[in-house]
Amino acid sequence: MSQYFTERHCELLWNAFLKVQTHRNTLSVDVGGFTHARFASGAYRFGPMQHDISTSPDARKFLQQNGFSMIDIIDLSHQGGLPEDRLAALNQTLSNISDAKINAFSKLQFEQMLKAFSRWLFAIQQRSSAHAEAILNNLALSIGLLDDQNQHGTYGEQLIAYWAGDPFTCPGTSTPIQITKMPDIEDLRRYRLNTKYGAEYPEITNQRIDHIQEVLAKVERTCEAERVHKFHLSKASNEDQFESSTQYSLDFTAPLAIKIN
């Protein structure tokens, strides 16, 4: 569990994130096995969070603890290109690991990502508390941002400014973009389409955002669930105070009624 979120909030975000990632992976031609990005650099990946074997020491350690040799790890650290029979053998080894075990490992990695997400939100809160609360209270946007950070890494200072409402110019572009109202997932779409990758692959970029919206639209909500999912940001004078106390709290006077089927 992330120290910055309540256990039930962490569970809510994890279940929603897992739902989105699992559904996306079922659409892949490599479903159930190792995948690799066909339109960008990157080694083979696995699991609902698509752990990159070349960049994640934890992913390599997990595979080594579950039947993979160092030679296997080296092969999987390449950007695609393995012979079909070799990849089939590696996929067979992967299939011997239960989904429950892979999901448990993925959840631990997700909780680490939540810690970085919390620090990022704290930085936004220092500039605009209203924008930070809007992000937290928009499930689709929260999942979209976590999905984006899972794919591209934690945001830097410039993107903190963008999400706080300041003008932002993506590298390689000349037209600034700005959030002029409370942020929502369309602001994530606008940002992604202004990146180099988004400009080169707008269809893939739009599909990723659309997919999150479509999957989460199927999440059942009740009036109690909407109330339960309401966050309240407490004030913090510095990041140390933020990290040592619970800054985000949920009203659990009603049972959690959001269902992810």
Pick the range with the lowest mean pLDDT from 48-57, 165-174, 228-237: 228-237
Check pLDDT > 60 for residue 227: no
Residue 1 inside a domain? The answer is no
**DSSP labels, the chain:** --TTS-HHHHHHHHHHHHHHHHHHHHTSTTTTS-B--SSS----EETTTTEETTT-HHHHHHHHTTT--HHHHHHHTSSS---HHHHHHHHHHHHTS-HHHHHHHHHHHHHHHHHHHHHHHHHHHHH-HHHHHHHHT-HHHHHHHHHHHHHH----HHHHHHHTT--B--TT--S-B---SS--HHHHHHHHHTSHHHHH-HHHHHHHHHHHHHHHTTSB--HHHHHHT-EEEPP-SSHHHHHHS--EEE--SS----B--
Residue 62 inside a domain? The answer is yes
Residue 81 inside a domain? The answer is yes
Check pLDDT > 90 for residue 165: yes
Count of structural domains, the chain: 1
Averaged pLDDT, 210-215: 92
**pLDDT at residue number 1:** 44
Per-residue confidence at 39, pLDDT binned at 50, 70, 90? low
Residue 45 inside a domain? The answer is yes
**pLDDT at residue number 244:** 33
Structural domain range at position 176:
7-250
Residue 258 inside a domain? The answer is no
Check pLDDT > 60 for residue 241: no
Give residue-wise pLDDT tens across range 102-141. Answer: 999 999 999 999 988 988 989 999 999 999 989 988 889 9
Residue 166 inside a domain? The answer is yes
Give residue-wise pLDDT tens across range 186-207. Answer: 999 999 999 988 999 999 999 9
Check pLDDT > 50 for residue 149: yes
Residue 245 inside a domain? The answer is yes
Check pLDDT > 70 for residue 252: no
Residue 2 inside a domain? The answer is no
Q: What is the pTM of this model?
A: 0.80
**22 vs 5, more confident:** 22
**pLDDT at residue number 22:** 83
Mean pLDDT (the chain, rounded)? 80
